[in-house]
């Protein structure tokens, strides 16, 4: 058989990035020790650490999540936290109670930290099964890099959602029905992950899509019945209210934004006179760049989706799931921790070709827990980490909000181009034949009598 998998080059790059992520983590720990709060790009209010977990847990034990709090979370979030936290620690009201619960709810704190460890173990098993030569570096980058630790620092349920996402789309589970179930669970935790399920339509995997969507409805109805609140109408009304008042909230995401929406709001918002500060010409140039780069990436993903529909047998599951998930991530601001899905799926790529190498390097850069400080913005006396003694907090203008969304866009664009080129090569070699006939012809081209894998077809595109 003809050799189709070239020898892996540049072996030293991934270990070097893993060391950079390790150095960034050590620097973060030393910064916390010396200054009493998380450095940027972590969340700007260290006294609010883990609050996504404990504030949500309060409403898991209170019926007012949808009418008083106005949440957009489906009921599964509250059902999960209701049975993984101690109810007697939530007998007050509001956010202050959530802060007090951190010192009372030992079960909730244990589950939060245990879930980080569980994800680290599953990531190690997944990457070891995929490629042992790169498993160590990619495991450390994803399990302990900035996006995952940001999710842990926020206490966001992305930790639980990511577990389900990993089991649904990774190689650990062989049972199709279990994969459907975990896809349904991930969709219920984070609604935008319906995109990851929809991706299977492009590869003509009808049963996966149908099974996952049916189980999504089942999971929703069961958790709605258990919690007693969270009807589709309640969720829809709250989503509409958030969308109508979303511009002001986007400004809070600028520290660790994954899209340019926050920067765009700063440039064009009426309360932020950026034109007077940097000039109208620079504002116009920046807004044009943001619009063009975002639209170009979205269009590239759509063309890659069309290409996959034309030749589903030459594009792998992880590639198209990644791209369609990216379409959701580059369209709406979902938080820095949502990058875990993008990085997880990209880390299945091989170190071959310009596009895939660019995407892998971009993911490693996103995992480095460090930001480039440009100019001091303000200084304020704020509560320390976990309601510790007050500390003098320095806010900085950093490069992250301007660079990080661009990296994410470039990753999606690069993988879209690789996908389109792979399909173009297949069509050029096969012609517009029926796919069933093409499957018999391709093994002859590869020098063997078996059906080729998608990875081998992609290698021919290099």
Q: What are 172-187's pLDDT values in tens digits? A: 999 999 999 999 999 9
**pLDDT reading at 13 higher than 80:** yes
Counting Cβ atoms within 10 Å, is residue 121 exposed (0-12), middle (13-18) or buried (19+)?
Answer: exposed
**Closest listed residue to residue 73, CA positions, set 58, 94, 90, 85:** 58
Mean pLDDT on 189-214: 92
Token pair of 4 as six digits: 């189709």
pLDDT of residue 107: 94
Between CA 275 and CA 459 the distance in angstroms is: 48
The pLDDT tens digits for 148-167 are 999 999 999 999 999 999 99
pLDDT of residue 119 exceeding 50: yes
Q: Partners of 378 in the beta sheet?
A: 395
Least confident of 6-10, 30-34, 334-338, 385-389: 6-10
pLDDT of residue 245: 58
Over residues 38-46, the mean pLDDT reads 85
Q: What is the mean pLDDT of the chain?
A: 84
pLDDT at 136: 95
The mean per-residue pLDDT over the stretch 57-68 comes to: 87
pLDDT at 260 over 60: yes
Q: How large is the average pLDDT for residues 343-358?
A: 94
For residue 396, list its beta bridge partners. 376
Res 441: pLDDT: 38
Return all residues near 334 (Cβ < 8 A) that are at least 6 apart.
Answer: 190, 192, 258, 328
- When comparing pLDDT for 120 and 434, which is higher? 120
- Distance, in Å, from the CA atom of 61 to the CA atom of 277, rounded to the nearest integer, reads 47
Place of tokens 């173990």: 121
Give the position of tokens 């109810």. Answer: 87
State what percent of residues in the chain have pLDDT above 90: 52
- Provide the pLDDT confidence category of residue 268 given band limits of 50, 70 and 90: confident
- Of the chain, the percentage scoring pLDDT greater than 70 comes to 85
The residue-averaged pLDDT of 201-220 equals 94
Mean pLDDT check: name the lowest of 71-85, 114-128, 248-262, 295-309: 248-262
Angle ∠(335,340,341) on CA atoms, nearest 5: 100
Q: Say if residue 450's pLDDT is above 50.
A: no
Letter string b/e over residues 155-171, b meaning 16 or more CB atoms within 10 A of that residue's CB: bbbbbbbbbbbbbbbbe
Q: How far apart are the first and last CA of the chain?
A: 18
Higher pLDDT among residues 87 and 7, named by residue: 87
* pLDDT score, position 68: 84
Is pLDDT of 445 > 70?
Answer: no
Per-residue pLDDT band for 277 (boundaries 50, 70, 90) equals low
**pLDDT, mean of residues 269-281:** 59
Q: pLDDT, tens digit, for every residue of 216-233?
A: 999 999 999 999 998 989
pLDDT tens-digit readout, 388-438: 788 888 888 888 888 999 999 999 999 999 999 999 998 888 777 655 444
Which residues, 6+ apart, have CB-to-CB distance to 136 below 8 Å? 18
Spatial separation of the C-alpha atoms in residues 199 and 205, rounded to whole Å: 9
């Amino acid at each position: 058989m003809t050799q189709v998998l070239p020898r892996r080059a540049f072996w030293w790059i991934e270990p070097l990035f893993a060391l950079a992520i390790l150095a960034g983590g050590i620097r973060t720990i030393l910064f916390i020790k010396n200054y009493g709060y998380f450095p940027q790009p972590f969340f700007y209010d260290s006294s609010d650490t883990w609050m996504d977990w404990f504030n949500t847990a309060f409403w898991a034990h209170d019926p007012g999540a949808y009418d008083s709090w106005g949440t957009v979370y489906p009921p599964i979030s509250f059902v999960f936290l209701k049975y993984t936290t101690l109810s007697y620690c939530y007998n007050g009201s509001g956010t202050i109670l959530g802060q007090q619960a951190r010192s009372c709810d030992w079960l909730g704190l244990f589950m939060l930290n245990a879930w980080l460890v569980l994800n680290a173990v599953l990531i190690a098993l997944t990457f070891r099964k995929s490629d042992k030569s790169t498993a160590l570096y990619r495991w450390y980058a994803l399990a302990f890099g900035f996006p995952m630790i940001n999710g842990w620092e926020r206490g966001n349920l992305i930790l639980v959602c990511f577990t389900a996402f990993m089991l649904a789309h990774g190689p650990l589970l062989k049972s199709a029905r279990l994969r459907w179930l975990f896809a349904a669970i991930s969709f219920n935790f984070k609604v935008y992950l319906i995109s990851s399920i929809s991706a299977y339509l492009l590869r003509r995997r009808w049963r996966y899509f149908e099974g996952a969507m049916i189980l999504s409805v089942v999971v929703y109805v069961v958790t709605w019945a258990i919690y007693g609140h969270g009807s589709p109408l309640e969720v829809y009304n709250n989503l509409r209210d958030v969308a109508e008042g979303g511009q002001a909230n986007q400004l809070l995401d600028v520290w660790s934004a994954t899209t340019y929406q926050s920067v765009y709001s700063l440039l064009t918002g009426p309360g932020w006179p950026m034109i007077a500060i940097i000039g109208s010409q620079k504002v116009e140039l920046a807004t044009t760049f943001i619009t063009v780069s975002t639209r170009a990436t979205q269009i590239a993903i759509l063309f890659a989706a069309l290409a996959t529909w034309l030749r589903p047998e030459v594009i792998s599951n992880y590639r198209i799931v990644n791209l369609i998930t990216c379409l959701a991530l580059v369209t709406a601001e979902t938080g820095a921790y949502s990058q875990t899905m993008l990085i997880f799926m990209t880390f299945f790529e091989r170190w071959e070709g310009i596009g895939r190498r660019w995407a892998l390097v971009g993911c490693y850069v996103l995992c480095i827990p460090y930001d480039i400080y440009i100019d001091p913005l303000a200084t304020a006396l704020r509560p320390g980490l976990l309601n510790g003694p007050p500390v003098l907090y320095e806010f900085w203008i950093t490069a992250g909000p301007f660079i990080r969304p661009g990296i994410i866009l470039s990753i999606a664009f690069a993988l879209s181009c690789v996908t389109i080129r792979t399909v173009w090569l297949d069509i050029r070699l096969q012609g517009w034949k029926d796919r069933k006939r093409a499957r018999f012809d391709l093994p002859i081209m590869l020098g063997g009598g078996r059906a080729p894998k998608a990875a081998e077809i992609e290698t021919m595109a290099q």
